[in-house]
Structure 1
Amino acid sequence: MTRIAARFEDLKAEGKKAFIAYIMAGDPDLETSFEIMRGLPEAGVDIIELGVPFTDPMADGPTIQLAGQRALESGQTLQKTLQMVRRFRESDTSTPVVLMGYYNPIYNRGVDRFLADAQEAGVDGLIVVDLPPEEDMELCLPARAAGLDFIRLATPTTDEARLPVVVRNTSGFVYYVSITGITGSAEAQPQVVAPDVARIKSASGLPVIVGFGIKTPESAQAIARVADGAVVGSAIVHEIAQGKPAADVLRFVKNLADGAHLA
């Protein structure tokens, strides 16, 4: 059983929903982002999504685009991101870590080398937003063979014909993008999300986590009530962008996590 599957089993046994937090590796610098990452489990985060900065983040809104730019300017690389995970594992062997980003840095490194390094570092799963299911041979299937979960995005436009293709080789959980558009845009609406969550859960047999448009403890709680959990990225990255100390960012995260866990 992967760490991700084990975490969902534990949450189910506790009658709790999952809270997932996204931060950009290296934003605003390596040490600050690592300090935040290290504090996320104590703040109530069940799974960490760690962004890999890339020069052309086409699925991301301005908040995360700027986070990636800050990270790249501070010298963050895929190698340093893997080192962050390795360092995190020195004190935490149970919290799942998912790398989220784009295929180009992985392709540049070489798929086989990347997967071996990611597994050795302690990465549990991948979200690669620009590789469609038609390209599963590129990374998805090799990742699964290497013991890493490959997490897919489903959206409001993923219809009945497309959904089986999207979830066919998905593992870990399905990330439901609750709104059309880029990250950090409109607010997610539980009454709109609920039917799609049920439809995706039925098709995949996996936990369905809802992200995009969740900015407050109240919205995290409302969304988690109709899903298996909530993921927050842009709102957390916005706090980091304000130059707040790690302790303040983690307090903000804890409030969001508390909201999701009350669902």
Structure 2
Amino acid sequence: MTNLAFYIPFHYPSRKEFFALLNALEKHGAAYVEIGIPVQNPFMDGALIKETHQEVLKQLPTHDSLVQTLKEIKEKFTFKVVLMTYKEGFDTFSLNQIPISLYDGLLCVDQVLNKDTSHHPIQIYPPHLKEEEIQSLLQNNELFAYVISGEGKTGSFNEVPTQYKESVHFIKKHSPLPILVGFGIKTPEDVASIVKNGADGAIIGTEFLRRFQQGGINGVYTYLDGFDSIMNS
């Protein structure tokens, strides 16, 4: 089975629509949902995701509202929940104080989390990491390994880079963790190409949000229809 993860900022663009998007992903069999914890400067992300963070911050989200939403998600859905943020979001929302039963993975893009101080850490593997750096990260990695396809910001790629291949092959040799490739993944054909190169699945963020912005929830269902054969295989 090909594992797909989809990225949605917390309560984007509203709590009601956020849950409508989650419901669409549940119905289509998404393996993981990455919930983006908003920050003022998500510097690894492109313009679209930066704009969504600003929209969410206007709602004045809090630690308590996040906890309440995570409780509801765990009651309603079966996909695994990943909290994804930057150090700013990790500290602002006190993510280390959220009950570990409410999420399955925790990813901080500008800080390496370790098992001694954080629960369920997920690590990011950008291109050109040295082998010893990859091995060090794998020692503090759970759920899946997040391999970045190429150098650049989210939403900045016209096609999927191929710089990820070496990292995927090395991780395969040294870890049983599933490997998901992110950045630049838009279509079922993109997913097929990275799986052919050894990955276990993909992470889709900007394109998923763009389809929602352009076509609303109906546009999202149409988009996800194209991945049904992959997610349900």
Settle same-fold status: TM greater than 0.5. yes
Q: Quote the Cα distance in structure 2 between the aligned partners of 1:69 and 1:118.
A: 26
2:20 maps to which of 35, 38, 61: 35
Matched positions, count: 231
Amino acid at match of 1:151: I
Does the 8 A contact of 1:19 with 1:257 survive in 2? no
Match of 2:112? 132
Cα deviation, 1:154-196, whole Å, max 9, x if unaligned, reads 0112122321222221111110001112111222245x53332
Q: 1:205 aligns with which of 176, 182, 186?
A: 176
Q: What is the RMSD of the two structures over their aligned residues, measured on CA atoms?
A: 2.2
Residue 21 (structure 2) pairs with residue 53 (structure 1): no
With over 3 angstroms needed to count, the CA separation of the structure-2 counterparts of 1:175 and 1:257, relative to structure 1, is farther
Gaps of 5+ in 1: 1-15
Alpha-carbon spacing, 1:261–1:88, altered in 2? closer, same or farther (3 Å):
same
CA distance in 2, matches of 1:237, 1:230: 15
User: Which whole-Å CA distance do the structure 2 matches of 1:224 and 1:79 have between them?
Assistant: 38
Question: Which among 218, 230, 252 is matched to residue 202 of structure 2?
Answer: 230
Separation (CA, whole Å) in 2 of partners of 1:155 and 1:217:
22
Match for residue 100 of structure 1? 84
- After superposing on structure 2, the runs of 4+ consecutive aligned residues of structure 1 that deviate more than 6 Å are none
8 Å CA contact 1:50–1:98 kept in 2: the answer is yes
- Secondary structure, counterpart of 1:80 in structure 2: helix
Does 2:6 correspond to 1:21? yes
Deviation string 1:182-224 (CA, Å, 9 cap, x unpaired) is 111222245x533321112223331111110111121122222
Which residue number in structure 1 is paired with residue 74 of structure 2?
Answer: 89
C-alpha spacing 1:20/1:257, structure 2 compared with 1 (3 Å): farther
CA contact (8 A) 1:28 1:71 kept: yes
Structure 2: which amino acid aligns with 1:106? F
Alignment of 1:163 onto 2:134: yes
Residues 78 and 105, structure 1, Cα contact 8 Å, conserved in 2: no
1:82: Cα distance to partner? Answer: 2.9
Please state how far the C-alpha of 1:23 moved relative to its aligned partner: 1.1
Q: Match for residue 12 of structure 1?
A: none
- Code of the residue aligned with 2:87 in structure 1: it is Y
Amino acid at match of 1:130: D
246, 249, 255: which is aligned to 2:217? Answer: 246
After alignment, is 172-181 or 66-75 more displaced?
Answer: 66-75
**Equivalent residue of 2:165, what SS?**
helix
Residues 19, 231 of structure 1: 8 Å contact kept: yes
AA in 2 matched with 1:24: P
Q: Structure 2-normalised TM-score?
A: 0.88
Contact 2:4 2:31 in 1 (8 A): yes
Offset of 1:21 from its aligned partner? 0.9
- In structure 1, how many angstroms separate the alpha carbons of the residues matched to 2:17 and 2:60? 13
- Please give the alpha-carbon distance, in whole angstroms, between the structure 2 residues aligned to 1:258 and 1:246: 20
Q: Distance in 2 between matches of 1:223 and 1:257?
A: 17
Match for residue 47 of structure 2 among 62, 65, 82? 62
CA separation of 1:159 and 1:129: change in aligned 2, threshold 3 A: same
Offset of 1:78 from its aligned partner?
4.2
Structure 1 counterpart of 2:213, one-letter code: A
Q: CA deviation at 1:36?
A: 0.6
Q: Percent identity?
A: 27
